[in-house]
Amino acid sequence: MQLGAATTAISQSQSAVKTRRPSSINWGYSITSWLGFVPFLLFCLLFEILPAVIIIQNSFLDSNTGALTLNNYQTMLSQPSYVHAFQTSISLSVVTALLGAFFGFFAAYGLYNLRTGWLRNLVISFSSIAANFAGVPLAFAFVATLGVTGFITVLLLRWFHIDLYNGLNFSLYSFWGLVLVYTYFQLPLMILITLPALSALRPEWKEAATNLGASNSVYWRRVALPILLPSLIAATMLLFANSFGAYATAYALAQGSINIVPILIGFVVNGNVSLDPGLGNALAMGMIVILLITVSLYTAMLRRVSRWQGR
Amino acid sequence: MAQVVRGTNLPGRGQIYRAHKPARRRFGLDKILLTLVLLYLTVPLGATLAFGLSIGSGFKFNTFMSAFTDPDFSQTLLISLGLAFATTLLTVLLVTPTAYWVQLRLPRARPLMEFLALVPFAVPAIVMAFGLVEVYGTGNTLVNVLSFGLVPLLSNEPFNVVNTPQLLVCAYVIVSLPFVYRPIDNNLRAINTKVLSEAAYSLGSGWWRTFLTIIFPNILPGVISAALLTFSTVMGEFTLASLFGIYTFPIYLNATGQSDAHKAASLTILSFFLTMIFVLGIILLVRIRPGRPGTEDRLDIVATK
């Protein structure tokens, strides 16, 4: 600390003495500074920015003639099946994000109240594994559990005579089946995001509220929840984005029989259906726009979080 | 600490707290929901294990093991391992020096760096695959100009990357950016990079030597955690590999699952253990490092779904 203060003092006195030189030095310095950043920038340009740019450009072009057009968007918005795909994708993401956020928050709170250290660490470790366990293996884990011949399906039929598929009209390969599978990776993610936010609640706030006569519920309504709210909204946004872009899980589960936007885009890339590439670009743009809104809300909320929790 | 205060010192406060204490000790709603959530997370795993082991009525260990003797299994696993190694290496080589450089010489570029690390959230893997296929598959003047002529160079013969593992590795590097940049940057901020570097420079060390012998060992926990997450993500990535037509382990798993659900269940259990090894590796390696407060900051979890 003292050394740092001394160096800044010295550099300040030096800059006070030499007033003419810095401007010329700064130019060379800042050019070399940017040069060191160029390899990374170039890499991101080639594999991150240009793919986004070309999707924006091609969504406004006719894929056959190359002329400027709005037809791609018109087709997307006028055909019921594409509108329906967006509706399904959005409601799937909203439902799983809300389910994940609600149950995940209470589970995280239960974990936060858990005084047994090893149990707490065990659950946190398990949540990290479960949050990373997604995609194809997750889909097959659910097929093995709740598929037509799945372990639980057969167990329910044999022991309780409950026929999930023929009696209750349940199907793992439908909207609600996907909800079940997506919730599996949403829950642990919510726990992992919420736990640090809960730990950042200072005990002093609780003590101060109690000293002023607040009951537990008043403390939660007036103090804790308002402070936690930005974190909770940010987490929900992350969960939404997490399931909105999911392709592998849905594809492995239903092999393209469910009508959601990522699956449609997959069809266009594989070129196996009569879907127009220009339309594919418009669909991709639709996803990007919805996700951009989500991500900007997420970052806005994170900024509020850091104001309260000093991060 | 807070609990000690509650019970003993102050009688007045103790009384107030006693009113709320029973609620804390009781097996409340939060604990019930925690138990339910944990059940929800463990039941599919148990059921998958049982499903993989059982054929008809009995349990057979042979069928479980037979899944691992398929030649395609070892071949695809090797391909995935190779891709994961290449991606991890390239990510660490590309991001770590850049993060250090930005921290030290170019703080102005930090928002740009953060933006670039955030873009994969808004452009999911499926959209990125589509964009990459269009960039490197079709000639486009705007792209050629914007890339300074690099895209035509990369999509024609001597350096052709179209539908090659190389392009896949580059795409994976981008996909991993969000959870690679943050832990490394957090660590760089925690170790007072500027003072360390200036001390090294004043003792006559060059930039690379400072980076490799002073900075890198100090941010190793962040780098290891980022590397393991990248490795684990690439091992399980399906979307980009399937759209580029490269036969990796998740694609083999998907193909198996369409014909033989029992075999797929065995392979699923194997993937779970692979994920477990990586995540436990991160937790152990990051937590074990002594004398570092603030390692409790959360693991960044963004597997590709």
From residue B289, give the alpha-carbon distance in Å to each of A45, B66, B130, B146, B239: 36, 40, 42, 45, 35
Q: Verify whether the Cβ–Cβ distance B40 to A262 is below 8 Å.
A: no
DSSP A61: B
**What value does the CA radius of gyration of chain A take, rounded to a whole number of Å?**
26
Does position B68 have pLDDT exceeding 60, yes or no? yes
State how far the Cα of B17 lies from the Cα of B247, in Å rounded to an integer.
61
Convert the pLDDT of each residue in A133-163 to its tens digit. Answer: 888 888 888 988 888 888 888 888 888 877 7
Q: Verify whether the Cβ–Cβ distance A192 to B279 is below 8 Å.
A: no
pLDDT bracket for residue A98 (50, 70, 90): very high
Number of Cα atoms under 13 Å in the Cβ half of residue A294 = 28
Q: What is the pLDDT of residue A23?
A: 53
Alpha helices in B203-260 (DSSP H): 207-209, 216-218, 220-236, 239-244, 249-259
pLDDT bracket for residue B2 (50, 70, 90): very low
3-class DSSP assignment, residue B59: strand
- CA B166, B168, B174, B180 torsion: positive or negative? negative
From residue B25, give the alpha-carbon distance in Å to each of A113, A146, A157, B37: 9, 36, 39, 20
Q: What is the pLDDT of residue A102?
A: 93
- CA B96, B101, B103, B109 torsion: positive or negative? negative
CB B126 within 8 A of CB A266: yes
Q: For B110, name the nearest residue in chain A, comparing CA atoms only.
A: A37
State how far the Cα of B109 lies from the Cα of B106, in Å rounded to an integer.
6
Share of chain A above pLDDT 70, in %: 89
DSSP B157: G
3-class DSSP assignment, residue A118: helix
CB B29 within 8 A of CB A105: no
Average pLDDT over residues B113-124: 88
Which residue did the predictor score with more confidence, A283 or A4? Answer: A283
Put simply, whether A25 touches B (Cβ < 8 Å) is: no
Q: Verify whether the Cβ–Cβ distance A195 to B298 is below 8 Å.
A: yes
Average pLDDT over residues A108-114: 86
The position carrying tokens 């951009």 is A292
State how far the Cα of A263 lies from the Cα of A268, in Å rounded to an integer.
9
Total length of chain A: 311
Q: Verify whether the Cβ–Cβ distance A140 to B253 is below 8 Å.
A: yes
Put simply, whether B258 touches A (Cβ < 8 Å) is: yes
Q: Verify whether the Cβ–Cβ distance B232 to A132 is below 8 Å.
A: yes
- Choose among B131, B116, B260: nearest CA to B180: B116
pLDDT bracket for residue A87 (50, 70, 90): very high
Q: Verify whether the Cβ–Cβ distance B250 to A137 is below 8 Å.
A: yes
The closest CB to that of A135, out of B24, B102, B236, belongs to B236
Q: What is the pLDDT of residue A288?
A: 92
Number of Cα atoms under 13 Å in the Cβ half of residue B6 = 15
Q: Verify whether the Cβ–Cβ distance A135 to B127 is below 8 Å.
A: no
Chain B positions touching A128 (Cβ under 8 A) are: 279, 282-283, 299, 301
CB A100 within 8 A of CB A180: no
The closest CB to that of B41, out of A58, A113, A184, belongs to A184
The closest CB to that of B304, out of A48, A248, A291, belongs to A248
Q: Verify whether the Cβ–Cβ distance A135 to B30 is below 8 Å.
A: no
CB-based contacts of B286, cutoff 8 Å, min separation 6:
B221, B224, B225, B295
Convert the pLDDT of each residue in A18-32 to its tens digit. Answer: 444 555 567 777 788
State how far the Cα of B190 lies from the Cα of B146, in Å rounded to an integer.
37
Q: Which two tokens stand for residue A141?
A: 């884990």
Put simply, whether B285 touches A (Cβ < 8 Å) is: no
pLDDT bracket for residue B287 (50, 70, 90): low
Q: What is the pLDDT of residue A92?
A: 93
Chain A positions touching B120 (Cβ under 8 A) are: 48
- Choose among A48, A90, A101: nearest CA to A293: A90
State how far the Cα of B107 lies from the Cα of B32, in Å rounded to an integer.
47
Chain B positions touching A147 (Cβ under 8 A) are: 261
DSSP B300: P
Least confident residue range of A5-14, A53-62, A180-189, B252-261: A5-14
Min Cα distance A129 → chain B (Å) is 6
Q: What is the pLDDT of residue B14?
A: 40
- Choose among A194, A204, A252: nearest CA to A225: A194
- Choose among B27, B41, B21: nearest CA to A110: B27
The overall average pLDDT reported for chain A is 81
Which residue did the predictor score with more confidence, A6 or A50? Answer: A50
Number of Cα atoms under 13 Å in the Cβ half of residue A152 = 19
Tell me, rounded to whole angstroms, the distance of Cα A61 from its chain centroid. 30
Q: Verify whether the Cβ–Cβ distance A192 to B299 is below 8 Å.
A: yes
Average pLDDT over residues B222-242: 85
Put simply, whether B160 touches A (Cβ < 8 Å) is: no
3-class DSSP assignment, residue A280: helix
State how far the Cα of A148 lies from the Cα of A174, in Å rounded to an integer.
13
Average pLDDT over residues A27-54: 84
